[in-house]
Structures are given as structure tokens and as C-alpha cells.
Amino acid sequence: MESDRFTVVQLKETSRRLGLPTKGSKAELLKRLADRDPAGAWKNVARKLQEDEASRLEEEMADETQQEEREDVNRRGPTTIFCV
């Protein structure tokens, strides 16, 4: 089932955004969301959260890579490039 792919954190945030209680197990959160919205439109909110989280993680990884590259350059010291 598609809704099983959502994490508890994502389900709790989706519930919060929809004004539902955020306490309970994953199964309880899924049931509460399904009871509130049998058509499943709540999944769009949860998917958006997944996309936002993925984008944030990609940005963090890019920032870490840039920082590691700067540190590597600093460790090696200045480089001289000769053009012929």
C-alpha cells in the first residue's frame, strides 16, 4: 500500500497540518487520516513533505561536499598553475 511508504514523522506532520491529533502508532495515524479523508487527498500533503525533505537533504549534502572541498584545498595549501 502506498501510504505505508510514509514515515511516522511525515504522518504526524501531515496530521498536524490537517488539524488532527498527532499521537499514536503509524497504524493509528494512517487510520485517522483515512477516516478524515477517505479519498486520500491527505497523501498529497504527505508526498509534498517527502519532496521537501528530499530537497533539504540534497541541499545539506551539497553544502557538506562544498565544505569538504574547501577544507581539502586549505589542507593542501596554495597551488601554483603554470601556463605555457
Structure confidence by residue, pLDDT tens digits, 25-35: 999 999 999 99
How far apart are alpha carbons 20 and 30 in whole angstroms?
11
The DSSP secondary-structure symbol of 3 reads: G
pLDDT digits (tens, 9 = 90+) for 23-81: 999 999 999 999 999 999 999 999 999 899 889 989 999 888 888 888 887 887 766 67
User: Would you state the cell numbers that stand for residue 6, as one nine-digit string?
Assistant: 510514509
Which amino acid makes up residue 28? E
81 Rama sector, left if φ>0, alpha if ψ -120 to 50, beta otherwise: beta
Report pLDDT for 14. Answer: 95
How far apart are alpha carbons 79 and 84 in whole angstroms?
16
For the chain, the domains span: 2-60
User: Would you state the cell numbers that stand for residue 8, as one nine-digit string?
Assistant: 511516522
